[in-house]
Structure 1
Amino acid sequence: SGKARLVHREQTLFRTRPHWSRDGKRIVYSSHLGGQYSNLFVLPAAGGEPYKMTFGEYDSFHPRWSPDGESIAFVSNEEGLPELRLLGSWGGKLDRVRIRSRRWSRPMGRVAVRVLDPGGRPTAARVYPRASDGKSYTPAGAYERLSSLNERLFHTTGEFTAEVPPGAYSIDVVKGFEYEPAHAGASVEAGQTANIVVRLARMVDLKAKGWYSGSNHVHMNYGGNLHNTPENLFFMHAAEDADVICHQIANKDNRILDYQHYVAGRRVHPLSTPERIMHTGQEYRPPFYGHISLFDLSDHLISPFTTGYEGTAIESLYPSNTDVFRRAREQGGIGGYVHPWAERDPLEGDLAIARGFPVDLALGSFQYLELWSTAGRGALIVWHHALNSGFKVPVTGGEDSISNLHRTRLVGATRGYFFLAPGKLSWENFRDALVAGRGFVTNGPLLEFTANGKLPGSEIRLPAQGGTVHLEGALHSTAPLDSLRVVADGESVEEVPLSGDRRTASFRKDLPFRHSGWVTLEAEALRPRWPVEDSRPMAATNAVYIYVGDEPIRSAASAEYFVRWIDKLIPMADSHPGWRTERERAHVLTQFREARAVFARRRDEAKR
């Protein structure tokens, strides 16, 4: 007829890559139909039922027919890295096409690199290589990544070799936020091996002072070409000098990824050591309310992992995020909103990602806020309004790394630092410090901050007439910054001078308080600055809460901000087409109105 017609419909990702057989009778394609991994299916070209051709707890993708139709070439990540395979279209014979040698079109040399810690021992790290032709030449067996700054990199255990063209070869080496980036290089000759030793030096040692860091938001397998494992997650976090791995099981489309790694009642993964631990939780991903993370689920994961899923049997906005947070609490779980807002004030648009945040703030449903996945002032705007309204909102960080993708946020790129005391790393201690707000959020800059000698998350009580609070702080950063400021009640009250290279600072200041409020220390740069793998470096401490007499922390403007938010949210939810029953709609909208009443009362209290 000359017109296109639909022969098959299913939910999938870019991996489908259908290919017609030479005779035009069949289509081979990759699909995750009925499971979490992609496998090969053959479908009649005229339409019909797909037939599964590959099986396994890994991905098979990018299929192509041979000209005679007897074989199908495809890519598999069964052994971690992608590799070529050849499957007989009948008979079941499967061959692995292994790379046994590489024959270059020009003479090549080699580099042998060792990355050493301050004690002279090989140490895992992040490596940015550059050969004489400007290319990266990642070692065989390493997984090359393209970073947020469009730089090619890989992680090393501390020792690697690579074939590279003759000429100047250089590497930059980064290990987390507490080591100085290191640079080294050599002149490579054809047929020869150049030995390079990179010695890392500490900029600061916060762990020795009792501070431990970790990302709140890491995914292991999520549609990428690498088949990731817990072992590889631990390796990458060691290279990024992160102590805690908060691994999140999540849905993507109609599948649940890595669900087999959740074990009821297990606090930390068996690979955990006194130096590094991994806890497995869940990301619950409703597109309307905003995504949330859940940890300490002692009995089971929360199903169905999302609501408002268009075109499915779970399109309704019931249950709400409030219901899900409460269900998690029934089994001892904690939770919070994740990757909430970017640069703009969400109230100026459609409330962005975390639309349900004010509802759960007012109803006390969550225990923390993941302030940043990527740097942005939008999250600070909302967080400051929440603090001004008298709510204690502990913040942490998590970069939302989809760590089996080639191009993704690096694990640990945004994280929380929390004070546990030296040698006291455990999941329970880290969780308790997070919920108490005893730390700061950062994608690179390191902050130390006290008020009257007390850490972030603490309370200070002043007499009814007010008083003065003594502030002390310090900054260390691998990248130059543009500002370090003391923020009280949402306003910058002190710009702290930076050092000549704009990477360090320290200060002492007495700040008067006549009314109850809060104070934080915040740092940022205005543009990207290597080695911070983000749109720009940013950091913020949790708040110290200052109470003057019996006066609560209140702001009429901030409470009104959330009243306006919920007034915008209610009609958006009310008009949603997915409600199954009026009872569901009434249940959720009642929660919204209860939350609005809380903010209205706080607005009125601030005016009195």
Structure 2
Amino acid sequence: MSEAGLGVLELGVFDHHGHRVPARFHIEDERGEPWTPAPADRDAWRAAGNQRPVILYSDMRECLGRWTREASCSHLAFGEAGIRLRPGRYTVYVQRGFEFAPQNRVVEVAAGRVTHAEFRLNRVLALPTEGWYGGDIHVHIGRRFAEDNELWTRVLMAEDLHAINTMSFKHGQPEPEMDQYAYGEAGEHQHSHYAISPGTEFRDNELYGHITLAGLQERLDPVSVGPSLGLCENYPLYSMVFEEVRRQGGLGGWAHGGISGPLGGTNNYESLPIEAAMGLVSFVEVVQFRNFLGHATWYGLLNAGLRIAAAGGSDFPFGIWLAPWHPSIGSDRTYARVDGEFTYRKWLDAVGRGQTYASSGPSLRLSVNGAGPGDVVNWEGDRQRVVIRAEARCVLPLECLEIVVNGALVRRIAASGDRLSIEYEEAFDLDRSSWFAARCRGQAAPAVFGGQFPWDLMAHTSPIYLLRGGRPVLVEQDITRLADMVRLIRFSYVRQGKFDVESHREHMLSNCAQALRYYEGLLKMS
């Protein structure tokens, strides 16, 4: 169609003060087909500099390489954009993270005319004013140059995403993919309260699974192990990797809930129960891919006296298969409690302390006698009365708020009214060491984002630990199951593992033995 046959949609996004703000937008025609820009549009925007939108994923090809997904029809705008369209009716969807109410509107575009569409976003939640900052702990972006940070900072601002841990990885090639121009402080970038930091996803699809490593001073080579991903033996062991991360002052946790399986490609029993028993695992990604992932195993580890935080991460750009119309960066987040001015290091340290909740949309609060997630409260005597307070809030409808004690669901409170918030308070009498957590669920209708199916919403807090006489939480059936898992892992790794040197196999067996001693020792205590 000629230039004369097109109309122009002037799109503007504003906050409640009337200031232009970055936001994500998505346009569909009457048939539900997404708008994608023509080459001439790209040239015009390039000349306009900062006023052009950034198109997921085509503008990011240099950073995403062969993992660029052309199927995406979601876009990011930075306050304003002029978009040339064929005449007709279009639905425009605008969203900015989890704290602003999403909006959509039908507009009519006429040939040779300019149609103005202004969106004023309503901030429903203001979590940074409460000390809570959301970050995506599982992202893959290749940054070859420091100049790449400008593009990604704008993406973070448009998604209202305060931190990303962008990780190199290997996928069967000699050299890592999604590598970073630098690690440590030289590789970190912060603009206002939006931060980018380099990390590594260390992976093994034959045996151990995938782990998320953040706050690194240097890349963790060989990045992957095992024949398919690392092109090598199943060594070094993950215990060695976690120990090196700690030496560097970083943080390590388990990706994909410890159950990668068909999602992550792992073909075996992941070694999470082993490294957890060794005290090396700081967090588990329990909110990901529109699901609670691996929470049953995580509950079991908590019931074996371990303290492991809840985390959320999107696995961008790979989560895009869930919904091409919804960019996966920041779709699952780790919210951490930060005191004072926000920095990436403060955020990561809070994750390490367990002062977190993981979320795909809702905000979640929990306190027990005033203590919050990650806190450890020792109490004495035969019984202890505690008061539980929890609150779930969301810009989209909630279904329920749930209270979990030692892995068991003890309360379920259904949403009512406008379903945008649920509050709960109750007194409990404890007679043993216990951990408390809250979780919630909701669902966004397809019409909210212009999607083809509902979008699940969920959140889960890290535990609050209330320990009688300082003794750990011990649930015999979970400890027994974990000990059995270690025995099964040992049997499987002996049969299927590839170890070039006998001492490497012996090292693996020694780790299994150490984990078994831990769980069997707990069984004697319980």
Which TM class, normalised by the smaller chain length? 0.7 to 0.9
- Deviation string for 1:505-548 (max 9, x for gaps)? 11211122111110011012479765599962111011000112
Q: Which residue of 1 aligns with 2:65?
A: none
Query: Are residue 125 (structure 1) and residue 23 (structure 2) matched?
Result: yes
CA distance in structure 2 between the aligned counterparts of 1:286 and 1:259, rounded to whole angstroms: 18
CA distance in structure 1 between the aligned counterparts of 2:247 and 2:98, rounded to whole angstroms: 37
CA distance in structure 1 between the aligned counterparts of 2:407 and 2:73, rounded to whole angstroms: 38
SS of alignment partner, residue 566 of structure 1: helix
Q: Which residue of 1 aligns with 2:334?
A: 416
Query: Are residue 158 (structure 1) and residue 79 (structure 2) matched?
Result: yes
Query: Are residue 581 (structure 1) and residue 498 (structure 2) matched?
Result: no
The residue type paired with residue 221 of structure 2 is S
Deviation at 1:184, TM superposition (A): 2.5
Of the three residues 99, 104, 123, the one matched with 1:178 is 99
Label 1:497 to 1:317 Cα distance change in 2 as closer, same or farther (>3 A).
same
Q: Which residue of 2 aligns with 1:274?
A: 192
- Deviation string for 1:372-403 (max 9, x for gaps)? 33233441111111111110001211111028
Unaligned runs of 5+ in 1: 1-101, 223-227
Query: Are residue 367 (structure 1) and residue 292 (structure 2) matched?
Result: no
CA distance in structure 2 between the aligned counterparts of 1:124 and 1:265, rounded to whole angstroms: 27
Label 1:265 to 1:183 Cα distance change in 2 as closer, same or farther (>3 A).
closer
Of the three residues 232, 247, 250, the one matched with 2:151 is 232
Deviation at 1:279, TM superposition (A): 1.3
Checking the alignment, whether the CA contact within 8 Å between 1:337 and 1:354 is kept in structure 2 is: no
Q: Which residue of 2 aligns with 1:8?
A: none
Label 1:131 to 1:378 Cα distance change in 2 as closer, same or farther (>3 A).
closer
Query: Are residue 495 (structure 1) and residue 416 (structure 2) matched?
Result: no
Query: Are residue 286 (structure 1) and residue 204 (structure 2) matched?
Result: yes
TM-score w.r.t. the length of structure 2 is 0.86
Query: Are residue 457 (structure 1) and residue 374 (structure 2) matched?
Result: yes
SS of alignment partner, residue 560 of structure 1: helix
The more displaced of 484-493 and 287-296 is 287-296
Deviation at 1:204, TM superposition (A): 1.1
Where relative contact order (Cα < 8 A, 6+ residues apart) is larger, the structure is 2
Deviation at 1:133, TM superposition (A): 4.4
Q: Which residue of 1 aligns with 2:55?
A: 143
Of the three residues 427, 435, 444, the one matched with 1:518 is 435
Deviation at 1:557, TM superposition (A): 0.6
CA distance in structure 2 between the aligned counterparts of 1:433 and 1:489, rounded to whole angstroms: 23
- Deviation string for 1:331-368 (max 9, x for gaps)? 3232111113569999xxx9877701100000112222
CA distance in structure 2 between the aligned counterparts of 1:130 and 1:494, rounded to whole angstroms: 42
Checking the alignment, whether the CA contact within 8 Å between 1:262 and 1:281 is kept in structure 2 is: no
Checking the alignment, whether the CA contact within 8 Å between 2:8 and 2:113 is kept in structure 1 is: yes
The residue type paired with residue 511 of structure 1 is F
Checking the alignment, whether the CA contact within 8 Å between 2:142 and 2:179 is kept in structure 1 is: no
Larger radius of gyration: 1
Label 1:425 to 1:583 Cα distance change in 2 as closer, same or farther (>3 A).
same
Deviation at 1:297, TM superposition (A): 2.5
The residue type paired with residue 237 of structure 1 is L
Query: Are residue 402 (structure 1) and residue 300 (structure 2) matched?
Result: no
Deviation at 1:478, TM superposition (A): 2.6
CA distance in structure 2 between the aligned counterparts of 1:273 and 1:250, rounded to whole angstroms: 26
Q: Which residue of 2 aligns with 1:326?
A: 243
CA distance in structure 2 between the aligned counterparts of 1:123 and 1:353, rounded to whole angstroms: 46
Q: Which residue of 2 aligns with 1:30?
A: none
The residue type paired with residue 201 of structure 2 is E
Checking the alignment, whether the CA contact within 8 Å between 1:343 and 1:377 is kept in structure 2 is: no
Query: Are residue 553 (structure 1) and residue 473 (structure 2) matched?
Result: yes
Q: Which residue of 2 aligns with 1:241?
A: 160
Label 1:563 to 1:323 Cα distance change in 2 as closer, same or farther (>3 A).
same
Label 1:266 to 1:546 Cα distance change in 2 as closer, same or farther (>3 A).
same
Deviation at 1:480, TM superposition (A): 2.3
Of the three residues 107, 128, 140, the one matched with 1:207 is 128
Of the three residues 479, 493, 502, the one matched with 2:396 is 479
Label 1:336 to 1:230 Cα distance change in 2 as closer, same or farther (>3 A).
same
Query: Are residue 428 (structure 1) and residue 345 (structure 2) matched?
Result: yes
Q: Which residue of 2 aligns with 1:537?
A: 457
Label 1:556 to 1:351 Cα distance change in 2 as closer, same or farther (>3 A).
farther
Label 1:594 to 1:345 Cα distance change in 2 as closer, same or farther (>3 A).
farther
CA distance in structure 1 between the aligned counterparts of 2:513 and 2:455, rounded to whole angstroms: 37
Label 1:308 to 1:367 Cα distance change in 2 as closer, same or farther (>3 A).
same
Q: Which residue of 2 aligns with 1:103?
A: 2
Of the three residues 177, 184, 195, the one matched with 2:116 is 195
Unaligned runs of 5+ in 2: 43-53, 59-67
CA distance in structure 1 between the aligned counterparts of 2:391 and 2:357, rounded to whole angstroms: 13
CA distance in structure 2 between the aligned counterparts of 1:364 and 1:425, rounded to whole angstroms: 28
CA distance in structure 2 between the aligned counterparts of 1:399 and 1:132, rounded to whole angstroms: 30
The residue type paired with residue 379 of structure 2 is L
Of the three residues 434, 437, 450, the one matched with 2:354 is 437
CA distance in structure 2 between the aligned counterparts of 1:262 and 1:413, rounded to whole angstroms: 26
CA distance in structure 2 between the aligned counterparts of 1:177 and 1:570, rounded to whole angstroms: 43
Deviation at 1:131, TM superposition (A): 2.5
Checking the alignment, whether the CA contact within 8 Å between 1:215 and 1:244 is kept in structure 2 is: yes
CA distance in structure 1 between the aligned counterparts of 2:432 and 2:384, rounded to whole angstroms: 9
Q: Which residue of 2 aligns with 1:15?
A: none
Deviation at 1:404, TM superposition (A): 12
Query: Are residue 113 (structure 1) and residue 11 (structure 2) matched?
Result: yes
SS of alignment partner, residue 457 of structure 1: coil
The more displaced of 402-411 and 487-496 is 402-411
% identical aligned pairs: 23
The residue type paired with residue 396 of structure 1 is A
SS of alignment partner, residue 491 of structure 2: helix
TM-score w.r.t. the length of structure 1 is 0.75
CA distance in structure 1 between the aligned counterparts of 2:338 and 2:464, rounded to whole angstroms: 17
The more displaced of 255-264 and 556-565 is 255-264
Q: Which residue of 2 aligns with 1:592?
A: 512
Checking the alignment, whether the CA contact within 8 Å between 1:132 and 1:166 is kept in structure 2 is: no
Label 1:538 to 1:397 Cα distance change in 2 as closer, same or farther (>3 A).
same
Checking the alignment, whether the CA contact within 8 Å between 1:345 and 1:378 is kept in structure 2 is: no
CA distance in structure 2 between the aligned counterparts of 1:304 and 1:378, rounded to whole angstroms: 27
More helix by share: 2
Deviation at 1:325, TM superposition (A): 1.1
The residue type paired with residue 90 of structure 2 is Y
Label 1:291 to 1:409 Cα distance change in 2 as closer, same or farther (>3 A).
farther
- Deviation string for 1:99-120 (max 9, x for gaps)? xxx737x933221010111221
Q: Which residue of 2 aligns with 1:46?
A: none
- Deviation string for 1:77-123 (max 9, x for gaps)? xxxxxxxxxxxxxxxxxxxxxxxxx737x933221010111221111
Checking the alignment, whether the CA contact within 8 Å between 1:527 and 1:536 is kept in structure 2 is: yes
Label 1:311 to 1:498 Cα distance change in 2 as closer, same or farther (>3 A).
closer
CA distance in structure 2 between the aligned counterparts of 1:396 and 1:489, rounded to whole angstroms: 18
CA distance in structure 2 between the aligned counterparts of 1:368 and 1:501, rounded to whole angstroms: 34
CA distance in structure 2 between the aligned counterparts of 1:153 and 1:582, rounded to whole angstroms: 51
The residue type paired with residue 235 of structure 1 is R
CA distance in structure 2 between the aligned counterparts of 1:313 and 1:403, rounded to whole angstroms: 22
Deviation at 1:318, TM superposition (A): 1.8
Checking the alignment, whether the CA contact within 8 Å between 1:293 and 1:338 is kept in structure 2 is: yes
